[in-house]
Amino acid sequence: MNVPKHVAIIMDGNGRWATLRGKKRSEGHLEGSKTLEKLALHAVDMGVKVLSVYAFSTDNFKRSQEEVDYLMNLLVKYFNTKFEKINKKGIKVVVSGRKDNLREDVLKAIKDIEEKTKDNNVGILNICFNYGGQEEIIDGAIKLAKDINEGLDIKNFKREDFYKYLYHSLPPIDLLIRTGGEQRVSNFMLYQMSYSEFYFTNTYFPDFGKSEFNKALFNYENRDRRFGGINEQENK
């Protein structure tokens, strides 16, 4: 099986999942967090090396204070409890996003989990939190500008060289999944998705379990990735 090395998921539809069931939006987020735990463990079993997930965007601060607080608390709770299994599995957790605007306890939870799992090497779970794709590029450009100021020679600077200026130097995204029915990228990992295959599903994230994930992997298998070149087989 041709397994994508880096899978990214825009975990959308938690709110609608809950509303449909007459529950509060927060219950959708809680259910979504359980789905994430299952998927993180499963992805490694399937041979995926890096799983990036969009958990909170810089624009999600536009939501009610109650919902923002709930999502912040959920991250802290999650990191402090649920991550035991992920740690045991050998998964390294990294968090991508801006650190300003975040509460002290949230920052501490992030620091702790990154520290606790830093030597794990079976797979990487990249949690994008207070994350924006354009912001990541801007922050990277600022770091690069500093290096240039300090004498870095950029005569032969290539697009591959920019990865180390991003929040974490992760490989390009092979497969991008968006649950919840919308077909847009909502400022997710713009630099890393330049040649990603896209997979959109109407399934709301809490219902996006292992078998749904496998469906996306099987779908990816049949994609013809040309990267601007020509498929020699098809052109014979």
Contacting residues toward ligand IPE, per CB under 6 A: 10-16, 54-57, 60, 71, 180, 182, 184, 186
Least distance CB 27 / ligand IPE (angstroms): 11
- Residue in the block written with tokens 């130097």: 169
Least distance CB 23 / Mg ion (angstroms): 16
Choose, from 2, 45, 60, 224, the residue flagged as catalytic. 60
HEC states along 186-205?
Answer: CCCCCCCCCCCEEEECCCCH
Nearer to ligand IPE, 59 or 115 (CB): 59
60 catalytic per annotation: yes
The β-bridge partners of 124 are: 50, 92
Of these partners, ligand IPE, Mg ion, none, which one is at the site of residue 10 (CB under 5 to 8 Å by kind)? ligand IPE
In the window 12-51, what residues touch Mg ion (CB under 5 A)? 12
As a whole number of angstroms, the distance between CA 32 and CA 51 comes to 16
Neighbours of 73 (CB within 10 A): 15
100 catalytic per annotation: no
Of these partners, Mg ion, ligand IPE, none, which one is at the site of residue 51 (CB under 5 to 8 Å by kind)? none
Can you tell me whether residue 155 is helix, strand or coil?
Answer: coil
Nearer to Mg ion, 91 or 128 (CB): 128
As a whole number of angstroms, the distance between CA 172 and CA 182 comes to 22
Least distance CB 136 / ligand IPE (angstroms): 14
Neighbours of 19 (CB within 10 A): 14
The β-bridge partners of 54 are: 10, 128
Of these partners, Mg ion, ligand IPE, none, which one is at the site of residue 14 (CB under 5 to 8 Å by kind)? ligand IPE
Q: Which residue is nearest to ligand IPE (CB)?
A: 15
Least distance CB 115 / Mg ion (angstroms): 31
Q: Check if the beta carbon of residue 10 is closer than 8 Å to that of residue 199.
A: no
Q: Check if the beta carbon of residue 211 is closer than 8 Å to that of residue 189.
A: no
Of these partners, ligand IPE, Mg ion, none, which one is at the site of residue 206 (CB under 5 to 8 Å by kind)? none
Active site residues: 12, 60
Q: Which residues bind Mg ion (CB under 5 A)?
A: 12
